[in-house]
Amino acid sequence: TNAAFPPYEYKDGDDIVGIDAEIAQAMADKLGLKLEIVDMDFDSLIASIQSGKIDMSLAGMTVTEGRKQNVDFTDSYATGVQVIIVKEDSDIASADDLEGKLIGVQQGTTGHLYCADDFGEDHVNALPNGATAVQALLQGKVDCVVIDQEPAKAFVAENEGLKILDTEYITEDYAIAIAKDNTELLDKVNASLAKLKADGTVQSIIDKYIKA
């Protein structure tokens, strides 16, 4: 995972906690497997799955056609929404106002892909993670940040002078990525995920971190 994406994954002291960490632990318990969480750049997760360095990623990762060329995805376990963070006094009021602006994104995320497609790579400043993108916004180095809604809420709560625009940019599905040749693990993870959804475990983990 990339432990800079609250409330899905973030550091609490030396521990990596959050929705994905708890779902992973619950699946490991169901499957009788030992969970080891490795923290890395979001942008290197898929290559690390392909090379066998890690077995799977839970990282608030959106299912996309492009990623499906390289990894398999489990059934979805959560929904994400791309939102726009701006300074409170910004003249940006909706996605229509992003034309010609400099947009901060997290390198290799769907926010990065969509903004590069819609507004051009020259208008995108790709930062290593959400926290650094938000710092760039606070320092006036970018005009806004496009990022997933729940991390956006966490970053806005931690920093003065920022707001999230009401407009929803894009809605997407989060799923677990697994190597294409590892159908045995894919089937096991899907089976345990189905049980954890059916018995309410997944929803209660989400509700613990995201208040309605």
* Pattern 5-44, ligand GLN, x by CB under 6 A: x------------------------------------x--
Return d(Cα 58, Cα 25) in angstroms, integer: 11
The reply on whether position 62 binds ligand GLN by CB under 6 A is: yes
Closer CB to ligand GLN, 82 or 201, in the complex: 82
Closer CB to ligand GLN, 29 or 117, in the complex: 117
Which amino acid would we find at residue 207? Answer: D
Measured at the alpha carbon of residue 204, what is the angle toward residues 84 and 171, in degrees to the nearest 5? Answer: 25
Closer CB to ligand GLN, 31 or 108, in the complex: 108
Q: How far is the CB of 10 from ligand GLN (least distance, A)?
A: 11
Closer CB to ligand GLN, 6 or 98, in the complex: 6
Between the alpha carbon of residue 129 and those of residues 52, 121, 135, 185, the distances in Å are 23, 17, 10, 29
Query: 37 and 29 in contact (C-beta within 8 Å)?
Result: no
Closer CB to ligand GLN, 31 or 55, in the complex: 55
Kindly tell me which residue out of 7, 49, 98, 110 binds ligand GLN, with binding defined by CB under 6 A. Answer: 110
Per DSSP, what are the bridge partners of residue 17? 10
Which amino acid would we find at residue 178? Answer: I
Return d(Cα 25, Cα 33) in angstroms, integer: 9
* Pattern 161-180, ligand GLN, x by CB under 6 A: --------------------
DSSP state of 70: T
Q: How far is the CB of 151 from ligand GLN (least distance, A)?
A: 7
Query: 1 and 39 in contact (C-beta within 8 Å)?
Result: yes
Query: 31 and 192 in contact (C-beta within 8 Å)?
Result: yes
Q: Which residues bind ligand GLN (CB under 6 A)?
A: 2, 5, 42, 59-62, 80, 106, 109-110, 148
